[in-house]
């Protein structure tokens, strides 16, 4: 799958913030170049077609990079660190 510019922007947002998991509302708020519908379409594309992220909900909507997404965003090391983080430290 060929990534669109907005797809690259979203993956780059994860890299710039050095986090494999972000709040969807945060992404929408910070991504002023694109409208909300474009962001939603890109997130859906990255989730369903590229398999680079997945959504989680627990009162808020979270976006989390998959292994492939972390590799693309240059956050592959974050996966091994997160795996060893104590459960009580996770939020």
Sheet holding 53-57, edge to edge: 21-23, 61-65, 53-57
Domain boundaries, the chain: 5-89
For the chain, what percent of residues have pLDDT higher than 70? 84
| Fold classified for 5-89 | Arc Repressor Mutant, subunit A (1.10.10)
Q: Which of 17, 1, 2 is nearest to 65 (CA)?
A: 17
- Mind listing the pLDDT tens digit for each residue in 27-61? 999 988 899 999 999 999 999 999 999 999 999 99
pLDDT above 90 covers a percentage of the chain that reads 75
List CB contacts of 12: < 8 A, sequence separation 6 or more.
73
Q: Check residue 29 and give its pLDDT.
A: 92
- What is the pTM for the complete model shown? 0.81
């Amino acid at each position: 799958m060929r990534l669109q510019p907005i797809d690259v922007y979203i993956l780059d947002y994860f890299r710039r913030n050095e986090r494999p998991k972000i709040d969807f509302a945060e992404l929408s708020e910070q991504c002023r170049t694109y409208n909300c519908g474009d962001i939603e379409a890109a997130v859906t594309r990255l989730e369903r077609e590229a398999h680079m992220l997945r959504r989680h909900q627990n009162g808020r909507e979270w976006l989390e990079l998959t292994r492939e997404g972390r590799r693309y965003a240059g956050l592959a090391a974050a996966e091994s660190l997160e795996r060893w983080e104590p459960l009580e430290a996770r939020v």
